[in-house]
């Protein structure tokens, strides 16, 4: 909603997300993602939420924004990767499934 009102150029992701109650968060990113950066975005979340016990961070080596293997490994060629047929990384699927199950169990037991 913030993006639609002010446009992406004025959207401060870190400030907006710092308002989130970190009751259960799973923050994941591929380290070859060229849409968001590890340095600013992924680490920005770590700066906001720190070592909160209900926040899980997972950085996946050699995966792009779509959580698929980076074919070219270079930012300048990254857009071409979307034309390469491939599948979502199995570890990402497993980690999301595990996280959902852990959150579900904690809701049921509480």
Cα three-residue angle 8-32-58, rounded to 5 degrees: 90
Whole-structure pTM value = 0.76
pLDDT digits (tens, 9 = 90+) for 58-86: 999 999 999 999 988 776 777 788 888 89
Cα dihedral 110→54→29→43 (10° resolution): 160
pLDDT of residue 1: 31
- For residue 10, the model assigns a pLDDT of 58
Helical H segments across 50-89, by residue range: none
- Cα separation, 77 vs 19, in Å, equals 35
């Amino acid at each position: 909603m913030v993006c639609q009102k002010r446009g992406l150029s004025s959207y401060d992701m870190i400030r907006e997300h710092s308002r989130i109650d970190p009751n259960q968060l799973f923050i994941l990113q591929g380290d070859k993602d060229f849409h968001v950066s590890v340095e600013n975005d992924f680490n920005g979340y770590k700066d906001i939420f720190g070592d909160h016990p209900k926040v899980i961070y997972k950085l996946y080596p050699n995966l792009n924004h779509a959580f698929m293997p980076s074919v070219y490994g270079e930012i300048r060629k990254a857009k071409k990767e979307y034309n390469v047929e491939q599948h979502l990384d199995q570890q990402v699927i497993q980690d999301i499934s595990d996280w959902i199950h852990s959150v579900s169990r904690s809701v049921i037991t509480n």
